[in-house]
Structure formats: C-alpha cells, structure tokens
Amino acid sequence: MIESTRLIYKGDIVAAFFYAGIGSLMFVIAALLQYFNISPGFLYLSYGLLVFSIYALGKGTIMYYVYSKRYLFYKNIQEMNERYKNEEINYTGSRIVRKNKGRRLHIYVMILGSIVAFYGIFSVERGLIIGSSIPIVLLSGIEFSVGLLTEFRLQEYLRILNKQPEKIS
C-alpha cells in the first residue's frame, strides 16, 4: 500500500511539471506575439497568454512543493499504519470532491468562453473579444483534462485504500 501512496504523489509531481512546462510554453508564445505585434487581436491574446503562463507556473510550483513534501514523507517511512491510512483516506476524499466541483466549473467556462469567442467573430471588437476568450477556454480545457486524469487516479487510489484490511503489514 505504501507503494501506491508513493506512486500517487509521483504522479502529482509529474502533473506539476506539466503545468510548469505549459506555463513556460505559453510565456514564450506570449512573448513572440508581443514582439511581432501583428494586430490588436494578437496583442490581447499575448496579454491573456501571459496571465495564463503566470497562473500555470504558479500552480506547478505550488503543486510541486506540496506533493513533493508528501512524497518525501511517505518515501521515508517503511509501512503504512492505521493513522496514516485514515489521513490518506480523508485527504484523498477531499481532493476528489474538489476535483468534482472544479470539473463542473471548467465545463461551464469552456462552453461560455466558446460562445463568447464565436460571438467575437461577428463583432466589431473582434480582436479584443477573441484574444481575451481564447486563453480562458484554453486554460479551462487544460485544467479539465488534467483534473479528470488526476480524479481517475485518486478514485482508484481511494478504492485501494478502502479495500485494505484493518491490519496493515
């Protein structure tokens, strides 16, 4: 069981590096759009991607800090006792609940952002509307995807935790 716990937190660390990589990529794209400055729409898009990159880099950094701390804790213990098991069950359950709430929110944001972007095509302020809504939809799509994958891992981990007998060896 301790290996499953370590594996969950290793996966969370990988997700943190994914966020940091996406944030870095979006920062480079925002800088290129700002440098070439083809039209006002690309300028607004670069601002949105810059904010998105700051968010993704910050989230990746915080995730790395939190989950590497938990990973190192479980790496240094040899067996899972009842206290740690109950703590993991509670913590994993609360993470699953947060992922469920976040998933609904990201779906609503993707739908609304897509409608706004479509409206922007026919609007006079095309560059501002489309350039602002694309990063929002992109962020929600990535959050939705990573959150869904994490939720699947957490549900399986919670099933393993609840399946283990009371006596842990």
Average pLDDT of the residues in 148-165: 84
Residue 154 has a pLDDT of: 87
Alpha carbon distance 72, 90 (integer Å): 19
End-to-end CA, the chain: 9
Which of 126 and 14 is assigned the larger pLDDT?
Answer: 14
The crossing angle, in degrees rounded to 10, of helices 2-36 and 40-76 is 160
pLDDT per position as a tens digit, 69-123: 989 988 888 888 888 888 888 888 888 888 888 888 999 999 999 999 889 888 8
SS3 content of the chain, % helix, strand, coil (to 5): 90, 0, 10
pLDDT at 165 > cutoff 80: no
Q: Mean pLDDT for the chain?
A: 87
pLDDT per position as a tens digit, 32-74: 988 888 777 788 888 888 999 999 999 999 999 999 998 998 8
Residue 169 has a pLDDT of: 44
CB 63 within 8 A of CB 11: no
Residue 167 has a pLDDT of: 52
